[in-house]
């Protein structure tokens, strides 16, 4: 039964050996997880161990280190097998234990009903536990952001193997992923996980109508396989001994191709997408990575090579800035009208773009009170000091005041946006990149006055502001 699992584990082991790394700790983690999960099965009948193993393989393919791989292999042993965090710390290390704790759901014994949270209800314990588990993930992930990547890979694999569940349950997981996990991946700039999660959700949502589209997508890419290899070979030839040290061409994911088509052909029927229509958008991402040199000089050399040595192979048709990456790229076209997004960056920049900012540099901006409401899109709003906060697209200045501090919310008088001399009222909508200063009313002793009015309920959209206002007016009613 475990022969196939051992063969799959060899994918991880061989990668570590090839790089000259020790395999001792990951082998111990694999053997322990295999033992602890030995009697457990997945919904589809496969050994449960196949799941943490595939999660570890996803992360291994992205070059994460031994601690992360061990955390992935052991990520369910606390929640499902009764193994303790103390045992993980003793037998591995504290870093691995922190990552496992980050992704372990709260159980019934740990659940503490919070009567100040209007979205918790003892009569709906399961839903409340799930809500608390995601807030725990964010709180602990801010301390050890690598725990997030285990959660991302865990959800990617679960979505890929969700067929055994009722379709209603599949849609629940999609909504949960879109509410909590995709916004975290986006906030951490993890393009791989953001796009992988979006793609799996897309396939589930379009379950009954995706087959024809996926057939057309696969047929298009299969028919262009030889062309792509030929272009890749030519690129290696012309950039030999140049500043470019690595070249790769990857498929644009199915959901993104459809999204881009939908911008051209409004409300396009997914079941009727043709290969001819696919030619209108980029289906391939081309990455040219360099080790040394200035960005401007590298771009100049690439422009020159495309102009002089790739004539007849590729031509530049546009220059854009990525909506997710925020990086400039060229859109190029081959002689068969296939389109490519051409990115130029250092290897280090590529790894950060692919895996995300998991070194704690941006994770402090995540707020467990708001992530559940971010959805797939959100804005970056600055405080007067320049600190950036992630907020949902529908935020008002009053929402932002409550996010910064409860007293700023209740004491709100007006806001100053981007240094304007105009006083912004509480219902003013915010836009991406705004810098906001909240002005409050104070009494003679300098304490912030409580200015809350019942009509403020019409001005706020965030759960945090609504909760604060509800508790305030409940208190007033009781008194």
Report d(CA 404, CA 388) in Å as an integer.
Answer: 11
Distance CA 335, CA 355 (A): 33
> What is the per-residue pLDDT for 374?
60
Q: What is the pLDDT of residue 372?
A: 61
Of the two residues 137 and 8, the one the predictor is more confident about is 8
In this prediction, residue 363 carries a pLDDT of 45
Q: What percent of the chain has pLDDT over 70?
A: 91
What is the average pLDDT across 145-149? 92
Q: Residue 181: which pLDDT band, with cuts at 50, 70 and 90?
A: very high
Q: Do residues 110 and 38 both lie within one domain?
A: yes
**157/62 same-domain check:** yes
Contact 187, 232 (CB under 8 A): no
CATH number at 471 reads 3.10.20.30
Q: Measured between alpha carbons, how far is 446 from 457 in angstroms, rounded to an integer?
A: 27
Residue 370: inside a domain, yes or no?
Answer: no
Confidence (pLDDT) at 140: 85
pLDDT tens digits, one per residue of 189-213: 899 999 999 999 999 999 888 899 9
Is 60 inside any structural domain? yes
- Burial (CB count <10 Å: 0-12, 13-18, 19+), residue 336: exposed
Mean pLDDT of the residues in the chain: 89
Residue 201 near residue 178 (C-beta atoms within 8 A): yes
Tell which of 190, 224, 246 closes a domain: 190
pLDDT of residue 116: 64
Same domain, 136 and 217: no
Residue appearing with tokens 């030995």: 38
CA distance 324 to 190: 9
Contacts of 268 (CB under 8 A, 6+ apart): 258, 261, 262, 277
Residue 420 lies in a domain: yes
Of 40 and 371, the structure prediction assigns the larger pLDDT to: 40
CA proximity to 33, closest of 3, 75, 94, 87: 75
In a domain, 233, yes or no: yes
Within 177-294, where are the H helices?
Answer: 182-187, 191-205, 210-223, 225-238, 254-264, 275-278
Tokens of 127: 């839903």
What digits encode the pLDDT tens for the residues 363-382? Answer: 445 666 666 666 656 788 99
Q: Quick one: pLDDT at residue 125?
A: 63
In a domain, 121, yes or no: yes
Cα–Cα distances in Å, from 166 out to 47, 130, 171, 267, 408?
A: 20, 19, 9, 28, 46
Task: Flag whether pLDDT at 361 surpasses 60.
Answer: no
Q: Does a structural domain hold residue 90?
A: yes
For the cut 90, the answer to whether the pLDDT of residue 188 exceeds it is no
**pLDDT at residue 236 above 90?**
yes
* Residue 366 resides in a domain: no
What percentage of the chain exceeds 90 in pLDDT? 65
Tokens coding 72: 């992935």
Residue 360's pLDDT band (cuts 50, 70, 90):
very low
> What is the band of 115 on the pLDDT scale with cuts at 50, 70, 90?
low
Inside any domain, residue 218: yes
CA dihedral 324, 329, 332, 338 (to 10 degrees): -20
Among 355, 389, 409, the domain boundary falls at: 355
Range 376-394 average pLDDT: 84
Which domain does 224 fall in, by range?
A: 210-355
User: Per-residue pLDDT averaged across 2-18, rounded?
Assistant: 93
pLDDT at 314 over 80: yes
Query: For the chain, what is the domain count?
Result: 3
**Closest by alpha carbon to 387, among 370, 367, 373?**
367
The pLDDT value given to residue 364: 45
Asked if residue 359 has pLDDT above 60, the reply is no
My answer on whether 412 and 337 are in the same domain is: no
| Residue 229 and residue 261 in one domain | yes
Q: Quote the pLDDT of residue 153.
A: 97
User: Are 18 and 154 members of one domain?
Assistant: yes
Same domain? For 317 and 224 the reply is yes
CATH at residue 257: 3.30.460.10
Q: Say what the pLDDT of residue 134 is.
A: 83
> Looking at the structure, do residues 184 and 217 belong to the same domain, yes or no?
no
State the average pLDDT over residues 122-148: 79
Give yes or no: residues 50 and 167 share one domain. yes
Of 190, 218, 235, which one is at a domain's C-terminal end? 190
- pLDDT over 60 (residue 126): yes
59 and 186 part of one domain = yes
Please give the Cα distance from 188 to 201 (Å, whole number). Answer: 19
Question: Are 312 and 389 part of one and the same domain?
Answer: no
Q: Which two tokens stand for residue 453?
A: 């009015």
């Amino acid at each position: 039964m475990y022969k196939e699992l051992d063969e799959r584990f060899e994918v991880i082991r061989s990668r570590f050996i090839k790089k000259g790394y020790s395999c001792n700790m990951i082998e111990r983690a694999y053997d322990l997880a295999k033992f602890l999960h030995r009697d457990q099965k997945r919904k589809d009948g496969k050994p449960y161990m196949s799941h943490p193993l595939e999660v570890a393989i996803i992360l291994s393919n992205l070059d994460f280190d031994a601690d992360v791989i061990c955390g992935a292999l052991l990520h369910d042993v606390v929640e499902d097998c009764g193994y303790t965090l103390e045992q993980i710390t003793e037998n591995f290390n504290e870093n691995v234990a922190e990552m496992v704790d980050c992704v372990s759901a709260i159980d019934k014994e740990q659940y503490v009903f919070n009567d100040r949270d209007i979205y918790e209800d003892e009569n709906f314990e399961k839903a409340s536990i799930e809500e608390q588990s995601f807030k725990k993930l964010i709180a602990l992930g801010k301390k050890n952001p690598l725990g997030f990547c285990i959660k991302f890979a865990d959800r990617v694999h679960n979505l890929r193997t969700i067929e055994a569940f009722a379709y209603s349950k599949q849609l629940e997981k999609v909504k949960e992923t879109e509410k909590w996990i995709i916004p975290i991946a986006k906030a951490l700039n993890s393009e791989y996980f953001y796009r992988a999660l979006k793609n799996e959700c897309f396939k589930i949502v379009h379950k009954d109508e995706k087959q024809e589209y996926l057939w057309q997508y696969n047929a298009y890419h299969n028919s262009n396989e030889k062309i792509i290899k030929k272009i890749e070979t030519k690129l290696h030839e012309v950039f030999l001994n140049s500043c470019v040290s690595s070249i790769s061409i990857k498929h644009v994911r199915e959901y993104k191709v459809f999204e881009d088509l939908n911008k051209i052909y409004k409300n396009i029927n997914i079941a009727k997408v043709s290969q001819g229509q696919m030619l209108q958008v980029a289906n391939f991402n081309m990455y040219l990575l360099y080790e040394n040199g200035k960005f401007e000089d590298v771009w100049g050399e690439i422009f020159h090579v495309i102009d002089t040595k790739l004539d007849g192979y590729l031509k530049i048709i546009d220059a854009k800035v990525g909506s997710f990456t925020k990086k400039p790229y060229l859109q190029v076209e081959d002689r068969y009208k296939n389109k490519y997004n051409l990115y130029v960056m250092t290897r280090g920049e590529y790894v950060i773009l692919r895996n995300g900012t998991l070194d704690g540099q941006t994770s402090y901006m995540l707020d467990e009170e708001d992530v559940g409401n971010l959805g797939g899109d959100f804005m970056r709003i600055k405080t007067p000091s320049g600190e950036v906060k992630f907020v949902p697209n529908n935020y008002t200045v009053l929402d932002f005041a409550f996010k910064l501090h409860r007293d700023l919310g209740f004491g709100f008088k007006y806001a100053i946006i981007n240094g304007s001399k105009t006083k912004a009222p509480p219902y003013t909508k915010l836009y991406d990149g705004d810098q906001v200063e909240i002005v409050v009313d104070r009494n003679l002793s300098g304490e912030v006055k409580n200015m809350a009015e019942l009509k403020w309920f019409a001005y706020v959209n965030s759960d945090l502001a609504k909760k604060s206002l509800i508790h305030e007016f409940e208190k007033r009613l009781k008194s």
